[in-house]
Structure 1
Amino acid sequence: MSVSLRYASAAVLLVGVVTLGLWPFVGEAARTGVLVAGVIALPIQVLAFSQLVRYRGRANGFLAAWAGGMALRAVVVVVAAIVVIRSGTESAVPMLLALPGFFFGLLLLEPIYFKKEMPQTAPHAAGTTA
């Protein structure tokens, strides 16, 4: 199984556990907002992580993927805020709290999957010979 697929599986599990953990403590509108936030956050986060994995080892490509992923997440939060505020739905506030919360939690999960794929060789210090 690829690292991106393992990450996606863990991301679905994390969002599911958080959503189920919140379920008894929030009202119907908040449940809807949290569910919508999870549905929005998962594909965006998995896409951003997949691009990081794709460009790992290439400095410029990796930095571009990292910056692009961060910009994409920010744009998604802003667009979601505009859409739900204009709609006047009751689930706007819970969704706008849950969306960046999911992004943050899923970002914390990324290093675990990068670490598993890192080569086990130690880099040489600059200016030294082996």
Structure 2
Amino acid sequence: MREPGASPALPAGPDEVLVPPADTASPIERAIRQGVAAERRNADLETRTRELRYREALDQRLLRLLIGLSVFGVSVLWLVADVSLTLAQGLGTLFGRPFRLDPTIIIAFLTTSTATVIGLFLVFLRWLYPSGPEKE
């Protein structure tokens, strides 16, 4: 007959190990139990780390997609404004009203806006495709 609180004769589940009561366990048995518990914690930690890295990769992919679309949209609008301004200057009219700007203003606007659009794309592309290994 078993005493109350004594360990069962057979393990209850596949993960349960038959161990003697804590007060009669030898130091070696306690060290083994602590080692097994530490290995389980490490395995759980590795699993959680993999899950978090996967989730981070998905979030980063979505973020890059959204920022890429935003950069593309801003660039398209900026270039449409450049073309519209250039056409308005060439035709001499903007929305049915006479339109004239000094040539230096047009040159400055087109130069800076082109440089800005190219710079915006370069910054985004360097972030999207880093040249070196990413820091962990």
TM-score normalised over the length of structure 2: 0.30
**Structure with the greater alpha carbon radius of gyration:** 2
User: Which protein is richer in helix relative to its size?
Assistant: 1
TM-score normalised over the length of structure 1: 0.31
Greater relative contact order structure (CA < 8 Å, 6+ sep):
1
